[in-house]
Amino acid sequence: MVTNRVVRTVIVDAQLDAYRALPLGEAESSGLTLLDSGRAALQHSAIEPIEQWLINIHLPDMSGLELFRMLHTRHPKARFVLVGDVYQAEEERQTRTWGAAGYLCKPPQAWWLEPLQAEQRSDDGHPGISKPQSASPHRRQQS
């Protein structure tokens, strides 16, 4: 008998409306929780273990990087992805230096919520995120 295990995922972002536009289905039964602050995330992390976190780097009450460091200490086996409102190379560098699984930029995509998306190691040994082939917009042709 095969059973589908629910991967508990938390999104922490002050601007949750962008995520609500995604096809989330039944959020509670799918293991998805939406929180709007670092404080709420810290409180929620004490209630139950979370396997996957998507954390905006710019939260109203603290830095997403700061929240990541606190949560990672409590839950070292969880997968953490930091999200930027717009791409900033320095944010991506900090994210990877501190050991997060990845750095993504808005607007949110449905594939971000796929449980434990294919994780791979980059050349520097840090875990990374790979976008599914079906989600790749266009490929450059080699000439």
Q: How many CA atoms lie within 13 A of 6 on its CB side?
A: 13
Is position 100 within any domain?
Answer: yes
For the entire predicted model, the pTM comes to: 0.75
Is position 24 within any domain?
Answer: yes
Is position 79 within any domain?
Answer: yes
Is position 38 within any domain?
Answer: yes
**CATH number of the CATH domain containing 87:** 3.40.50.2300
Is position 43 within any domain?
Answer: yes
Output the CA–CA distances (angstroms, integers) from residue 108 to 56, 103, 123, 140, in the order listed: 11, 12, 26, 24
Could you list the pLDDT tens digit for every one of the 143 residues in the chain?
444 566 788 999 999 988 887 776 654 556 789 999 999 999 999 988 899 999 999 999 999 999 999 999 999 999 999 999 999 999 999 999 989 999 999 999 888 877 644 343 334 443 444 444 444 333 333 33
Q: Which residues pair with 83 in a beta bridge?
A: 56, 104
Is position 128 within any domain?
Answer: no
49 is in which domain, residue-wise?
A: 13-56+64-108
Is position 80 within any domain?
Answer: yes
For 74-129, give the secondary structure using H, E and C.
HCCCCEEEEEECCCCHHHHHHHHHCCCCEEEECCCCHHHHCCCCCEEECCCCCEEE
Is position 70 within any domain?
Answer: yes
Q: What is the total count of domains within the chain?
A: 1
- Rounded distance between C-alpha atoms, residue 96 and residue 93, angstroms: 5
